[in-house]
């Protein structure tokens, strides 16, 4: 068995952050049942271009493989009744909706504990279920602006910039998955469930980490650095070589001493301006041109070979194509394949979560409502007549 095969999650998830969090739980074996609203055509991620046709998109495929989908209108009385029958068979109800919506939909612990005292209700929202912004929608770009990230990203002379990937969304998904698992663990230990009020805002603020500590405690003013340089460790940034860019990171003094040896400039290690981290930080503007001149003499591949030989942390500055083709990417099993009726063979990145043996095969993302009948028969024992009656009553969306 995979680690989470005994966990079942009813997920009212959409778009990116929420589905990203549950994706890793599904990868580890959890039965993630997407409850999709038929009134809006299901998860909005199904309609994100490019590579989108009908109710399928490669965007949706990226966040939802290894899950099941049911169509259920929980605002409809018949649909709500079905949902409430599913809750006792689940460990968690997971959502990523606006902070005030869980109360409106009745999916908090207070709303569901009478059905299942051990249920964990995990809400991932933009700003959380409390606070002055709880009723506001929150997206990755918005949160990067609020949390100060865009003041730290990019060249000092350029405009505000976000990170390349939507890291607030994805980090929020990881935090939600962690919180949900903690809640389920506590519920199984104590017999009592709980709410997990997770927010993208909290996640983004928490990821300010040590620059926030420096600011709050020492009055430090974080800012952008040239070439994505580390704010205090020097050298630790992007450098131009003869034919491109590479990253060199001297996070320990021994790496600095090895670097100057590879560069053929061992005297730099004894130069009083550059002996320690503090010295090099103070004289960063003097050191950078010296390193630039030395590194310009050879190609990226030549420098990488020489630096790897003495274990100095370094890398090329890959584009996405090169990153996905890296031999280490392939060796770690990070490219997975599924078969899809519309897209054929879909190759995509797998989950980095590791616990025991990893699955050799993956299931494609579900079609809209593909598992409605299967889930209701399997978990609730519904027969065809019951499903037909619920269909007429609008539990699964408006009847034609």
| CB-CB neighbours of 254 under 10 Å | 12
* Residues annotated as catalytic (active site), given as ranges: 169
pLDDT (tens digit per residue) in 73-124: 999 999 999 999 999 999 999 999 999 999 999 999 999 999 999 999 999 9
- Give the sign of the dihedral formed by CA 179, CA 180, CA 186, CA 190: positive
Per-residue pLDDT at 286: 97
Per-residue pLDDT at 356: 83
Per-residue pLDDT at 359: 75
Per-residue pLDDT at 154: 93
Percentage helix, strand, coil for the chain under 3-state DSSP, each rounded to 5: 45, 15, 40
Encoding tokens for residue 58?
Answer: 């490669």
For residues 400 and 394, give the distance between their C-alpha atoms in angstroms, rounded to a whole number. Answer: 10
CB-CB contact of 55 with 41 (8 Å)? yes
Q: Is the pLDDT of residue 400 over 70?
A: no
**Residue 199: is it exposed, middle or buried by C-beta count within 10 angstroms (0-12/13-18/19+)?**
buried
Kindly state the average pLDDT of the residues 227-245: 96
For residues 3 and 216, give the distance between their C-alpha atoms in angstroms, rounded to a whole number. Answer: 40
For residues 12 and 240, give the distance between their C-alpha atoms in angstroms, rounded to a whole number. Answer: 47
* DSSP per-residue codes, 18-64: HHHHHHHHHHTT-EEEEEE-GGGTS-GGGG-SSSEETTEEHHHHHHH
pLDDT (tens digit per residue) in 202-225: 999 999 999 999 999 999 999 999
Q: Strand, helix or coil at 11?
A: strand
Per-residue pLDDT at 398: 82
Q: Give me the domains of the chain, ranges plus CATH numbers.
A: 8-206+331-392 (3.40.50.10540), 227-240+245-316 (3.30.1540.10)
CB-CB contact of 219 with 226 (8 Å)? no
pLDDT (tens digit per residue) in 184-195: 999 999 999 999
Q: Strand, helix or coil at 317?
A: coil
Report the relative pairing of strands 344-349 and 236-240 from DSSP bridges. unpaired
Provide the mean pLDDT of the chain: 96
% of the chain exceeding 90 in pLDDT: 96
CB-CB contact of 85 with 114 (8 Å)? no
For residues 271 and 268, give the distance between their C-alpha atoms in angstroms, rounded to a whole number. Answer: 5
pLDDT (tens digit per residue) in 297-316: 999 999 999 999 999 999 99
| φ, ψ of residue 120 in degrees (nearest 5) | -105, 125
For residues 150 and 152, give the distance between their C-alpha atoms in angstroms, rounded to a whole number. Answer: 5
Per-residue pLDDT at 358: 74
CB-CB contact of 338 with 61 (8 Å)? yes
Per-residue pLDDT at 361: 86
Q: Is the pLDDT of residue 366 over 80?
A: yes
């Amino acid at each position: 068995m995979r680690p989470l095969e005994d966990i079942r999650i009813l997920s009212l998830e959409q778009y990116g952050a929420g589905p990203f969090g549950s994706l890793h739980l599904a990868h580890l074996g959890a039965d993630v049942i997407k409850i999709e609203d038929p009134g809006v055509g299901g998860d909005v991620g199904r309609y994100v271009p490019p590579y989108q046709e009908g109710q399928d998109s490669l965007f949706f495929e990226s966040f939802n493989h290894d899950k099941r989908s049911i169509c259920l209108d929980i605002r409809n009385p018949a649909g709500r009744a079905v949902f409430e029958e599913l809750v006792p068979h689940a460990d968690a109800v997971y959502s990523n909706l606006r902070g005030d919506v869980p109360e409106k939909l009745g999916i908090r612990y207070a709303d569901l504990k009478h059905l299942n005292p051990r249920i964990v209700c995990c809400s991932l929202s933009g700003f959380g279920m409390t606070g002055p912004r709880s009723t506001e929608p929150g997206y990755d770009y918005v949160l990067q602006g609020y949390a100060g990230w865009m003041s730290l990203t990019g060249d000092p002379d350029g405009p505000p910039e976000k990170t390349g990937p939507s890291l607030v969304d994805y980090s929020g998904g990881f935090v939600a998955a962690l919180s949900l698992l903690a809640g389920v663990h506590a519920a199984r230990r104590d017999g009592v469930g709980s709410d997990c009020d997770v927010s993208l805002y909290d996640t983004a603020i928490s990821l300010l980490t040590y620059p926030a500590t420096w600011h709050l405690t020492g009055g430090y003013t974080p800012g952008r650095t040239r070439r994505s340089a580390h704010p205090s460790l020097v050298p630790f940034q992007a450098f131009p070589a003869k034919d491109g860019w590479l990253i060199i990171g001297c996070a320990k003094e021994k790496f600095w001493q090895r670097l100057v040896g590879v560069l053929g400039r061992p005297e730099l290690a004894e130069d009083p301006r550059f002996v320690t981290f503090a010295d090099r930080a103070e004289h960063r503007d003097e050191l950078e041109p010296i390193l630039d001149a030395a590194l310009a003499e050879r190609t990226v591949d030549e420098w990488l070979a020489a630096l790897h030989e003495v274990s100095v942390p370094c890398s090329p500055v890959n584009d996405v194509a090169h990153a996905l083709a890296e031999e280490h990417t392939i060796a770690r099993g990070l490219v997975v394949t599924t078969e899809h009726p519309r897209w054929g063979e879909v190759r995509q990145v797998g989950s980095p979560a590791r616990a025991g043996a990893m699955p050799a095969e993956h299931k494609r993302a579900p079609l809209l409502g593909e598992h409605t009948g299967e889930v209701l028969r399997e978990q609730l024992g519904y027969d065809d007549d019951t499903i037909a009656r619920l269909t007429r009553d609008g539990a699964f969306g408006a009847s034609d």
